Amino acid sequence: MSSKLIYKLTKEPDQIINSLEYYSDQIINSLEYYSSDDRHSKDKPESFPAVMRRSPDYSQHRYKIDDLVSFAVLGLDVKITPDSEVKIIEVNGINSGMKGFQEAGVEYKGTPSDEELMRRIFSHFDSFKFDNDNLLEYIKTDLRSKNSCDEALTSHINGLGKEPIAYIAARLAVEGYFQNRMKGTKDVFTLDKRSLEDRLNPYLSGIINKDTLFTENRVLRNVHPDWESRYGNFAETLIGIERILKDKLQSDTFFDGCRGIKPKTHEYTEENFHRLVQAEQPKYVVIKPYNGSRGEGLVIVPATTLAEERPDPNERKYVVESFVSSKPILSEKDGQFHDGCMRYVVFVEENKRGRITLHDFGGYWRLCPRPISEDLDIDGMRANLAQGALAEKVSAEDMKIVREAIGRNVPMFYRNLVQRADPQREMKSLLREYSRL
């Protein structure tokens, strides 16, 4: 039996229906293509979804996304303090890394057990006789080799509506925001190949950044303008969110209504450093680039450190925070206790009535490479996979307190965030302010 067929057999019934929809779409696309006038046009992309040449108003699909006004992926960096308080350290966006889930052996909560899997296969394929142990092993290995949390998130996003998501993803890509969880991008845009080749002459190709070149030449083609009026604002809002989340100082301000869950981030100046030390009385202070990632450029110093021994605030834009320690977390790998910073992934949906729903895709501990110690040691205090952190499963109790704290606080953060990130809402609030002047 071909591995393709095995793969299909293991899919959920609604996924099978989705595949059938996909194949029928392909057939309709080809039929439309062969009956249309532009069939001889050479640069016609073959896989372009025909449905986008018409207004979405004519679509027979009812998309889940049509009940929403915005959505986002948030990858939260979370600590649990020795007093069992939950603290958010940082919020990452749509490209939040999820590879640690697999490393930690965390499976999505909806992943079926082996028995459940067999039951489902039998119930949908009555006539399919399942008597091959090797085949069973193959299916299990195939399923277990996947990052189920990442896959569940990807299929949730695309489940909002295949074509709208493809459109939104293409809009993001055109503006240089690349992500890999929304499918169908390539079907919606195409490269303006000729101008690309013109620019890629031997003299220029060496000095031009190919990524910019690629971005500049992406265009949405043949898309009915109603797709923009219906779904363009989702893309604009996502771009706004990504822009804000890159800036740790700006992101932090949206926690002002739920400050208990996040240590305040300050701009790093000499004055702010002293003010923070006085007001918050931390033992250690974190100084990090305002737009950093992967834990790079981050320094931790005792609160008593003199200016000469700290980074120079004029050299680079830094932010400063009190260091929040985590409760000791046991590592299965070395049997020792570590400081941990969890990566917790949620998908946020805001519907037309302003209701915010969080969908959890799970979390895993990133444990600092070295165990907790009394001394200052960056490798015992900073947890990033890129800096050697160990991925570890989270206990059910810890997961529960994090899930509850996130559920209580993140909707308010998100409401504040989209108010600024959504260009339509931002424009309205600016107009309101001007009218008061």
Ligand X SMILES: Nc1ncnc2c1ncn2[C@@H]1O[C@H](COP(=O)(O)OP(=O)(O)OP(=O)(O)O)[C@@H](O)[C@H]1O
Q: Which residues bind Mg ion (CB under 5 A)?
A: 77, 90
- Closest approach, Cβ 124 to Mg ion, in A, equals 42
Choice between 24 and 84, CB closer to ligand X: 84
> Could you tell me the CA-to-CA distances from 351 to 68, 71, 269 in Å, in that order?
4, 9, 40
For residue 122, the one-letter residue type is F
Q: With CB cut-offs between 5 and 8 Å by kind, which of Mg ion, ligand X, none does residue 321 bind?
A: ligand X
Stretch that binds ligand X, among 62-70, 173-181, 285-293, 330-338 (CB under 6 A): 285-293
107 makes contact, choosing from Mg ion, ligand X, none, with CB < 5 to 8 Å by partner type, with none
Q: Which of 72, 320, 280, 286 is nearest to 177 (CA)?
A: 72
Closer by beta carbon to ligand X, 240 or else 295: 295
Q: Does 341 bind ligand X (CB under 6 A)?
A: yes
Burial class, 260, CB count within 10 angstroms (exposed 0-12 / middle 13-18 / buried 19+) = exposed
From 65, 71, 72, 90, residue interacting with ligand X (rule: CB under 6 A)? 90
Per-residue burial over 19-50, b if 16 or more Cβ lie within 10 Å, else e, is: eeeeeebeeebeeeeeeeeeeeeeeeeeebbb
By a kind-dependent CB cut-off of 5 to 8 A, residue 292 interacts, out of ligand X, Mg ion, none, with ligand X
Contact pick of 64, 99, 109, 294 for ligand X (by CB under 6 A): 294
> Can you list the positions of beta strands (E) in 312-421?
318-322, 329-330, 337-338, 340-351, 356-367, 390-392
State the binding partner of 341 from ligand X, Mg ion, none, CB within 5 to 8 A by kind: ligand X
Q: Which of 149, 286, 346, 417 binds ligand X (CB under 6 A)?
A: 286
By a kind-dependent CB cut-off of 5 to 8 A, residue 267 interacts, out of Mg ion, ligand X, none, with none
For residue 326, the minimal CB distance to ligand X (Å) is 8
Nearest to 249 by CA among 291, 216, 284, 188: 291
Q: What is the dihedral of CA 170, 175, 180, 185, to 10 degrees?
A: 20
Binding residues for ligand X, total number by CB under 6 A: 20
* Closer to Mg ion by Cβ: residue 252 or 349: 252
Shortest separation between residue 259's beta carbon and ligand X, angstroms: 14
Q: What angle do CA 69, 149, 389 make, to 5 degrees?
A: 115
Q: Does 263 bind ligand X (CB under 6 A)?
A: yes
What CA–CA distance (Å, rounded) separates 55 from 121?
39
Reading the block at residue 416, the tokens are: 């504040």
In the complex, the residues that contact ligand X under the rule CB under 6 A are 77, 89-90, 92, 263, 286, 288, 292-296, 298, 321, 323-324, 341, 382-384
